Structure 1
Amino acid sequence: MNGPLVQIDQVVVEYPGKGWRTPPFRALKGVSLAIEAGQTMGLVGESGSGKTTLGRAILGLAPVTGGAIRFDGRDISGLGKRGRRALSRDIQVVFQDPYTSLNPAMTVNDILTEPLLATGTARADADRRVRALLDEVHLPADAGSRLPREFSGGQRQRIAIARALSRDPKLIVCDEPVSALDLSTQARVLDLFAEIQQRTGVAYLFVTHDLSVVRHISHRVAVMYHGEIVEEGEADTMTTTPSSYYTQRLLLAAPVADPARQARRRRERQALDAAHAA
């Protein structure tokens, strides 16, 4: 493959206005971004910035009204349902809330075998694949016979990750996958994402509101504000010395466990706001 795995070129997403005279709402305003094979692009922004909409556009869940999204060199912007089903082998998703993204009435084995059986995999082969997936995400061998409610939040997210990995995708869109977890569980799940990437070569689009989260997993980071990318660069630079006011403010807004450091960050943020307003 020549070029990036995913090439997003001047993508526009619009939703109809609520009234007949209301103009459409433009959620993405000509966004361009590239995701390299085997790497992680962190996509950061506040609620309403458009970051989740971009992930949904890649997944075919948001209408692309302008520009193009190319995956492995192929334009996937206007694929129909049949094309999207075929593409699901290569593009998967891990959603934010592990409590609602898993069917509570199905065992873990049924949850994980469902996408395999739907594409013609024999039951014995699917069961073997599930055992391997549970081992990959560090869950016990007997997890397959249990229901999602029997697991903690972190374990449920591991099940969701296993489901995304079941068909060996090239890209996983991770939509705030650790924001519903406590800090210690977040760290373990992030380590798991990194371990899986190193072993399989899967690429991630990692959507989050927290710059401190993407610091630990991303190769590059893009920051969104009001449907546009305001800054993009290497993760080390973006999470330590960003150039734009908005990214600097996001960095200072990230919580830290030390009360003294948190107070210092608050003062620095107030000084940054004052300088920006002057």
Structure 2
Amino acid sequence: MTEPHLVDVSDVSVEYRTRSLRAKPFRALHSVSISVSPGRTLGLVGESGSGKTTLGRALLGLAPVTAGSITFEGADITHAKRRQRRALSRDIQVVFQDPYTSLNPAMPIGEILREPLGAQGVPQREARVRVRDLLDRVGLPADAATRLPRDFSGGQRQRIAIARALSLSPKLIVCDEPVSALDLTTQGKVLDLLLELQRETGVAYLFISHDLDVVRHISHDVAVMYRGEIVERGSAERVTSEPTHPYTRRLLLSSPVPDPDEQATRRTQRLELARDERQEASR
């Protein structure tokens, strides 16, 4: 028997009203459907403006869903009220792109990590023990609890953001470009940490990125977004090695490689694909 999905996004559309009363609302998502299974990672990939972040925000209740539905563990959360969202925060967490702006610069790390625990009624003594465990789990020293975010590197700050997301033992973490602001070496370390934590805890990820190579490293399944629609989906191995849609092939060619000659070849192929797409659209 197939295990039920943790999250089901079904035919979801998102529209934003413009300042002009006469202009039509801008539709950021067009009847998008995805699902995330327990303990697995769905990579959501696309260029800036493709709608991938909007989809993540819709799941978090931060974008206006104008059509379709979102269910979590079978319960409809499409238009969840504030009280329901607060309860959901125990099971659904988020890690944003910029770890510094997502951390209160005036609060010591220990307080940042204890804050969501206190909001859920966890006693202070238990919260302090859990904070020490979280810091250890993400590879930071215990004295990090007394220091401020500015005392840490970008990679360390992202580890703190991940620790905060893990503090309530969620079932799903929405990772919105969590490594794009980091150098390549640090990216690899953070991705390996996310994989290790998934093996240990069974947490599921919706991993949003513009980089197909990053998505391939961490995802079980991949959905490719283009202009507010899913244009390709499948296993990470298949989509990232044998893409069928021209846009996915162009994304794959956009990934940097260390060989300058191969990089030049990829650039030429990418430009040719973009030209072919323009010609096809003009017909």
Name the aligned partner's letter for residue 107 of structure 2. Answer: M
Q: Which runs of 5+ in 2 are unaligned?
A: none
Runs (4+) of structure 1 exceeding 6 A deviation are none
- Please state how far the C-alpha of 1:272 moved relative to its aligned partner: 3.1
- 1:40 maps to 2:20: no
Map of 1:160 onto structure 2: 161
- Please state how far the C-alpha of 1:2 moved relative to its aligned partner: 4.8
In structure 1, distance between residues paired with 2:231 and 2:167: 35
Map of 2:174 onto structure 1: 173
- 1:51 maps to 2:52: yes
Map of 1:65 onto structure 2: 66
- Please state how far the C-alpha of 1:109 moved relative to its aligned partner: 0.1
Structure 2 vs 1, CA of residues 109 and 213 (structure 1 numbering), >3 Å: closer, same or farther? Answer: same
| Deviations 1:64-89, CA, capped at 9 Å, x for gaps | 11100000011000111001000000
In structure 2, distance between residues paired with 1:145 and 1:270: 51
TM-score, length basis structure 1: 0.97
Map of 1:207 onto structure 2: 208
* Aligned residue-pair number: 278
- Please state how far the C-alpha of 1:99 moved relative to its aligned partner: 1.6
In structure 1, distance between residues paired with 2:125 and 2:58: 35
1:218-237 alignment runs, 5 A limit: 218-237=219-238
Name the aligned partner's letter for residue 157 of structure 1. Answer: Q
| Deviations 1:184-205, CA, capped at 9 Å, x for gaps | 0000000000000011000000
Map of 1:126 onto structure 2: 127
**Mean CA deviation greater in 214-223 or 257-266:** 257-266
In structure 1, distance between residues paired with 2:232 and 2:47: 14
In structure 2, distance between residues paired with 1:257 and 1:248: 19
In structure 1, distance between residues paired with 2:175 and 2:106: 24
Aligned CA RMSD, in angstroms, stands at 1.2
Secondary structure of the 1:239 match is helix
Q: Which runs of 5+ in 1 are unaligned?
A: none
In structure 1, distance between residues paired with 2:75 and 2:60: 14
TM-score, length basis structure 2: 0.96
In structure 2, distance between residues paired with 1:3 and 1:46: 30
Name the aligned partner's letter for residue 66 of structure 1. Answer: A
- Please state how far the C-alpha of 1:274 moved relative to its aligned partner: 4.9
Secondary structure of the 1:215 match is helix
